[in-house]
C-alpha cells in the first residue's frame, strides 16, 4: 500500500506529463478501434459482384404495343411498358389533375419515346409489386394496401406517397435500353 500511495502521489506531482501521455495512449487506442470499425461496417455494403450487376441491358424489340415486361434490375422488378396512344393520351390529359405527387407525363419518359414507360415496379408505400390493369385509372394497383397508379405510374390515391420511380435509363440502340 505504501508504495502504491507513493506512486499515486508522485504522479500527481506531474499532472501535465501524466495527462498527455495517457490521453495520447487512450486516444491512439480509441482511434485504432474506430479505424478498424469502418471495414467491419463497410463489408455489409454491396460487394463487387453485386455492383457489377447494377446495370442491365434489355432488347425490347419483342415487346408489342400494349404489353409490358418485368425484368430483374438490382433484385427489383423494372416494368418496361409499350404504351398505346390511348394510354399516353389518358396520362397527358391528367397532367394537371390533383394528385399526391404532381408530375407531367412528359417528365416521366424520354423525349420522343413517350410510348416506352420504364418504371421501378415497387410500390412507394411499403415495397410490394403493383399489378397492371387494376384500379380506376387504367394503370397499376398495389395488392397490399390498394394504392392506385395511373397509366404514367403516378400515384392517384391510396397510402403510397410517391409516384412509381423512374430509374436511370438510356436508349443505347434502336431496340435496346440500358437501365442503371
Residues with a known catalytic role? 145
Dig out the grid coordinates for 122 from the structure. 415497387
- Distance set, CA 51 to CA 25, 55, 67, 88, 170 (Å): 40, 8, 30, 34, 19
Among 37-45, 96-104, 119-127, 154-162, which window interacts with other proteins (CB under 8 A)?
A: 37-45
Q: Yes or no: say if 164 and 124 are a contact pair by the CB < 8 Å rule.
A: yes
Cα separation of 11 and 7, whole Å?
6
Site size toward other proteins, by CB under 8 A: 35
Q: Which stretch binds other proteins (CB under 8 A): 53-61, 111-119, 129-137, 153-161?
A: 53-61
Of the pair 44, 98, the CB lying nearest other proteins is at: 44
Q: Measured between alpha carbons, how far is 45 from 35 in angstroms, rounded to an integer?
A: 17
Q: Is 33 in the site for other proteins (CB under 8 A)?
A: no
Footprint of other proteins (CB under 8 A): 1-4, 6-7, 10-11, 17-18, 21-22, 24-25, 28-29, 32, 35, 39-40, 42-45, 47-55, 57, 62
Amino acid at each position: 500500500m505504501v508504495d502504491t500511495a507513493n506512486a499515486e502521489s508522485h504522479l500527481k506531482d506531474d499532472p501535465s506529463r501524466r495527462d498527455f501521455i495517457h490521453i495520447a495512449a487512450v486516444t491512439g487506442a480509441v482511434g485504432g478501434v474506430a479505424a478498424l470499425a469502418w471495414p467491419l461496417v463497410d463489408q455489409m455494403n454491396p460487394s463487387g459482384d453485386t455492383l457489377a450487376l447494377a446495370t442491365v441491358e434489355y432488347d425490347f424489340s419483342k415487346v408489342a404495343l400494349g404489353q409490358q415486361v418485368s425484368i430483374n434490375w438490382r433484385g427489383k422488378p423494372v416494368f418496361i411498358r409499350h404504351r398505346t396512344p390511348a394510354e399516353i393520351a389518358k396520362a397527358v390529359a391528367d397532367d394537371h389533375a390533383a394528385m399526391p405527387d404532381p408530375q407531367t407525363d412528359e417528365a416521366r419518359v424520354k423525349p420522343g419515346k413517350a410510348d416506352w414507360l420504364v418504371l421501378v415496379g415497387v410500390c412507394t408505400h411499403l415495397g410490394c409489386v403493383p399489378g397492371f390493369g387494376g384500379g380506376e385509372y387504367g394503370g397499376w394497383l398495389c395488392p397490399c394496401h390498394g394504392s392506385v397508379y395511373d397509366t404514367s405510374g403516378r400515384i392517384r390515391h391510396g397510402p403510397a406517397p410517391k409516384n412509381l420511380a423512374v430509374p436511370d435509363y438510356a436508349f443505347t440502340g434502336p431496340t435496346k435500353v440500358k437501365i442503371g
